[in-house]
Amino acid sequence: MVFASRLVLCLLIFVAWATAQETTRFRMWMAGQEVGGREATRMESGTREGIQTREWIRLERLGMVVEQRVSQTAFRDADGSLEFTWSIHLAQEPMEGRALWRPGDPTRLFIHSKNLPERVIALEAGTVLWPLAQDARLREAARTRSSLHIKGYMPALQQTTELDLKVIGAEPLPGFPDAVRFKGRSREGAMQTDTELWVSPTAGEVKDSSNLAGIPLLVQRVELPTPAGVKPTMGFFERTLKTLPPHPFLPWLSQATLRWEGPGDQLLPEDAQQKRLGPGRIHLTRAAQPNRQEATEPPVQGPPAAQDAPFLAPSPLLQFQDPAFEGLLTRLRAPVGASRWELAQRVNRFVFDWITEKDYTVGFASALEVAHRPKGDCTEHGVLAVALLRKLGVPSRGALGWIGAGGVLGLHFWVEVELQGRWVPIDPTFDEAPASALHLKLGTTDLADLGSVGWDTVATRFIGGTWAPEGAWAEGIRIRGERVFLPDGAGLRLPNAGWKLAQGVLSLIWRGTHPVEAVPHPSAVQLNASKAFQSPRNGRRGWWQGLTKTLWVQLDAARWVRVSELDERAAVDLLDQLEPLPLT
């Protein structure tokens, strides 16, 4: 759910190509909407020359506003040494850092992220770091009308970049009569985009027009006129959501087969939960509960083994060495001697409860910020859970892909923990441990830096199509009198009642007709706005909202259902009588 807000950073590979003393400014459009811009100012300080850049973006995501900013200063000393400092505001608390490069050690870049140990990046020979060197290469290519290939590195995002351009020819733009048009591809990390770039031999970059999986992107100098005929289109994030046919027990499915409906064949990774059945077909299975050996494995103590080290390390996104995490562990109250799986379950529930504001206004907060401000969506749940798990000695990583929930297949971020060599998915956004079957994984990340997250690849992968359930989506549901259940036996029973299934929608026939749906753990906001009940007969808890006549029922630690169109008396009686059938 964070890619749309990072898109600007991915596209602006060439930072601050200004050689004049005045500030150079750009405007930015995405999907026909002006969403931000950047400005660059060249500076001189004694024997040092520098470039200060500022980039910003303001996007709407599902009706909520996300604002992000990146500022960077690059200095070059007389001996050619380079120093970079940056501040990245993806949420409220900035991620800050500093990088150093020396001409006597050209293949190493030393990264100093705030509150973290030094990191050394190995650079390919010929990597261009200094912005004005990139600018000079572009201008020369425009002057000679020649092709261009540049490999670079973005210290702030800790990502490699690459630009491969072929000259199309002279194409004057208003105020830039010597502009030359190039066409080719640009890359940052794993993300590649087709691009058209206009460069002036005297003024540098003038305009960059790209198309990323059908999303038009435009960055151009403020001197150019506003593009004619720009019409806003559907927002990027909204275009990534795909509808699913309704299924009343979606979170309880033990398995499902999906078929790709779109161009090409989507090659997805395989693991115990995800198997390819052939071109364009994937079979998903709910992760098995840990066996005895897995469930009792202790956390790592002392120096980790080489294979575990990347999944126990701190990073700019996971600053769990900060004292704030000691306070969270006190609240967590992990028992002495708890196993990895016990800790994973406890952290999963703790993070779900800790993040009380479940919303989309946060771009991508670090775990430290979420420790201070419990607010955000799946990425905030994921990074906080990984940070706490690593602090407790449980090797963990992030997983990226799509999830089926609430009638849609949408972008998602969840967590995997390592038990006896098996990576088990948990989902703190929905309080699932293990996670439900409908988690379609595209990749994993050790969260070493922003660039490793991979939202760029995930967000653009399926825009041209979708994964749809194969066959009749709800054909496995069976109704037998007062019982309704799935093939594995999971389901519901209500004495002296009936059930009706029509086009994937389940209704309870009891004192009227009431839609019933299995749902993830409701948020505290939903439950706090409701009246709480507890059955004296079975101890089961329920929350009834009078305004919508909706009852949420907690059947057991892992399962919830929502029943609609119930008055208060019926809600109390239903809570006494509704019985869950075992989830296997």
Average pLDDT over every residue of 89-108 = 88
Query: How far is Cα 25 from Cα 20, in angstroms, rounded to an integer?
Result: 12
Q: Are 227 and 29 in contact (CB under 8 A)?
A: yes
The winner for highest mean pLDDT among 10-19, 225-234, 395-404 is 395-404
d(CA 528, CA 545): 10
Q: How much of the chain, in percent, has pLDDT values that exceed 90?
A: 63
Q: How confident is the model at residue 454 (pLDDT cuts 50, 70, 90)?
A: low
* The pLDDT value given to residue 212: 64
Cβ atoms of residues 199 and 205 within 8 Å: yes
Query: Exposed, middle or buried by CB within 10 Å (0-12, 13-18, 19+), for 46?
Result: exposed
Mean pLDDT score, 392-400: 96
Q: What tens digit of pLDDT does each residue of 270-312 get? A: 999 999 999 999 999 999 999 999 999 999 999 999 999 999 9
- Does 8 score more than 80 pLDDT? no
Chain centroid to CA 108: how far? 30
Q: Are residues 300 and 266 in the same domain?
A: yes
Q: Give per-residue pLDDT as tens, 517-570.
A: 999 999 888 888 899 999 999 999 999 999 999 999 999 888 999 999 999 999
Show the CA angle centred on residue 126, arms to residues 125 and 131, nearest 5°.
Answer: 135
- Residues, the chain, total? 584
| Both structure tokens of 383 | 């990074």
Confidence of residue 365 (pLDDT cuts 50, 70, 90): confident
Global confidence as pTM: 0.81
pLDDT computed for residue 34 by the predictor: 85
Asked if 234 and 260 sit in the same domain, the reply is no
Q: Check residue 162 and give its pLDDT.
A: 93
Q: How far is CA 302 from the centre of its chain?
A: 31
pLDDT digit string, tens, across residues 463-502:
778 899 987 787 889 999 999 999 888 999 999 999 999 9
Domain boundary residue, one of 238, 260, 294: 238
Residue scoring higher pLDDT (149 or 23): 149
Check pLDDT > 70 for residue 5: no
d(CA 469, CA 408) in angstroms, rounded, equals 12
Same domain, 184 and 49: yes
For residue 15, the SS3 value is coil
Per-residue pLDDT at 6: 33
* Across 125-137, average pLDDT: 92
> Quick check: 151 pLDDT over 70?
yes
Say how many domains are in the chain.
Answer: 3
* 381 plus 494 within the same structural domain: no
Q: Which of 186, 216, 238 is the last residue of a domain?
A: 238
Among the candidates 211, 238, 265, a domain finishes at: 238
Report pLDDT for 32. Answer: 77
Please report the pLDDT score of residue 505 as a whole number: 93
Residue range(s) defining the domain that contains residue 22: 3-238
- Which position has the higher pLDDT, 161 or 1? 161
SS3 322: coil
376 and 503 co-located in one domain:
no
Same domain, 446 and 391: yes
Residue 233 has pLDDT above 60, yes or no: no
pLDDT of residue 267: 84
Q: Give me the pLDDT at residue 423, please.
A: 97
Question: Rounded distance, CA 423 to CA 382, Å?
Answer: 15
Q: How confident is the model at residue 10 (pLDDT cuts 50, 70, 90)?
A: very low
Fill in the DSSP letter of residue 512: S
Same domain, 355 and 266: yes
Concatenated DSSP letters of 283-306: EEEPPPPP-HHHHTPPPP-SSPPT
For 91-95, 110-114, 119-123, 537-541, which range has the lowest pLDDT when averaged over its residues? 91-95
Q: Are strands 357-358 and 375-376 parallel, antiparallel or unpaired?
A: parallel
Whether 15 has a pLDDT exceeding 50, the answer reads no
Q: Please, which pLDDT band fits residue 17 given cuts at 50, 70 and 90?
A: very low
Are both 219 and 256 inside the same structural domain? no
CA atoms within 13 Å, Cβ hemisphere of 434: 27
Q: Which amino acid is at 179?
A: A
Could you tell me the pLDDT band of residue 574, with boundaries at 50, 70 and 90?
very high
- Please check whether residues 397 and 513 belong to one and the same domain: no
331 & 431 share domain = yes
Q: For residue 21, what pLDDT is reported?
A: 52
Would you state the structure tokens that stand for residue 359, as one six-digit string? 């919303």
Pick the range with the lowest mean pLDDT from 3-17, 85-99, 197-211, 278-292. Answer: 3-17
Omega cis (within 30) before 425:
no
Q: Is 158 left (phi over 0), alpha (psi -120 to 50) or beta?
A: left
Task: Between 134 and 228, name the one with better pLDDT.
Answer: 134
Mean pLDDT of the chain: 87
Select from 241, 254, 284, 272 the least CA-distant residue to 518.
254
| DSSP-assigned letters across all residues of 396-439 | EEEEEEEEEETTEEEEEEEEEEEETTEEEEEBTTTTBSSPPS-E
Same domain, 412 and 510: no
Mean pLDDT, to the nearest integer, of 111-116? 84
Which one is predicted more confidently, 580 or 193?
Answer: 580
CA distance 222 to 65: 24
Residue 47 has what DSSP assignment?
Answer: T
- The closest alpha carbon to 379, from 358, 405, 396, belongs to 358
Q: Give one word for 213, left, alpha or beta, with left for phi > 0 and alpha for psi -120 to 50.
A: left
Structure confidence by residue, pLDDT tens digits, 239-272: 778 889 999 999 999 999 999 998 877 888 999 9
Task: Give residue-wise pLDDT tens across range 161-217.
Answer: 999 999 999 999 999 999 999 999 998 876 778 899 999 999 999 999 987 656 788
Do 517 and 403 fall within a single domain?
A: no
